[in-house]
Structure 1
Amino acid sequence: MSDLLQRLRGRGWRMTAQRRVVAEVLDGDHVHLTADEVLAQATARLPEISRATVYNTLGELVSLGEVIEVATDGRAKRYDPNAHRPHQHLVCSSCGTIRDVHPTGDPLSALPPTERFGFAVSAAEVTYRGVCPDCRSPQ
C-alpha cells in the first residue's frame, strides 16, 4: 500500500469525510485512476460526495505534491499516489492501464553529455509502452 493517508495526516491536512474518502480511494500500489474513476469509487463509499469536491481534492493533492498527475497519449489524466518514491510507468497502449516500475540504473546517465545541449539536467521521465496481458489475450 502507498502511504498517502499517513503522509496527509503527518502534514496536518484537514481530513474531512469527503477528503478522507478521496485519499482512501487513491491509497495503494499501482493506483492510477482517472478523476471519474475516483468519483465513482468515492460515491460508492460516500454517496453525498460531489463531483466538484472530488476534482477540487485531486487538484489540492497535486498542488501539495502528494499525488502526481499522469497524462499519456491524450487519454484522461490519471492520479498516482506514489509521489515520494522514484519510479517510472509502464503503459498499455491498448487499454491505458498503468503500472509503476522500478528499473535499475540511472536514466540521467543514459543521456550522453553531447546530447544535453548545455542543459543542467536534473530529472528524467521514462515511460515504457507495450500491451498488457489482458489486451494480448484472445477474448
Structure 2
Amino acid sequence: MPERTELRLTPQRGAVLEVLKAADDHPTAAEVYERVRVAAPGIGSATVYRALALLVSTGHALELSLGDGTAARYDANTSRHDHAVCERCGRAVDIDQPVPDGMVAEIARRSGFTITGYDLQFRGLCPECQSGGAGQGPGRRQ
C-alpha cells in the first residue's frame, strides 16, 4: 500500500471517501457510484472511478482483488488487516488478527525474499451461506 500523501479533497472526492468509510461490505466501484449518487445525484460514474483511483494511489483507500475474477472492491480501512471471503456470495469481512512478525521473518528467511508487505485471504462460506440462505454479500454468485 502506498504511503498516505496529501490529497485535495473536492466535494466529489469527499463524497466517495464518505461512502467508503460508511461501508462495511467492501463495495465495487459500481456500488460506490450508486451510493454516492444518493448524496450527489449529479455526479458522473467517471468522476467516481477517478476519485477511487486517486484515493487508492494516495493511500486513503485500498483496492482489493479477491482473486476470483470479479470486480475490484474498495476499503477505507487502510490499517494492516486481512480478509475472509465467501466463495458463494462474495462477501468479504475484515480480519484484524495480524500474522505474528516472527512468522513473517521466518517466511522471509526460508524464501530468501525481502518481504515488503502481504495480503492474506481466508476463503470459505459466510454464516448465511452455510445455513443455506442466499447470503448477504454484494456480488452474490451461486
Counterpart position of 1:87? 81
Structure 1 pair 39–29 and aligned structure 2 pair: CA distance change class (3 A):
closer
Give the letter for the 1:68 counterpart. Answer: L
Partners of 2:44 and 2:127 in 1: how far apart?
35
Structure 1 pair 28–138 and aligned structure 2 pair: CA distance change class (3 A):
same
Counterpart position of 2:107? 111
Structure 2 gaps of 5+ residues are 134-142
Whether contact under 8 Å (1:108, 1:123) holds in the other structure is no
Q: Percent identity?
A: 38
Structure 1 gaps of 5+ residues are 1-6
| 1:74 has 2:69 as partner | yes
The count of residues paired between Structure 1 and Structure 2 equals: 127
2:122 to 121, 128, 135: 128
Structure 1 pair 110–102 and aligned structure 2 pair: CA distance change class (3 A):
farther
Whether contact under 8 Å (2:108, 2:115) holds in the other structure is no
Higher RCO (Cα < 8 Å, 6 or more apart): 2
Normalising by structure 1, what TM-score? Answer: 0.80
Aligned CA RMSD, in angstroms, stands at 2.2
Partners of 1:111 and 1:128 in 2: how far apart?
18
| 1:54 has 2:48 as partner | yes
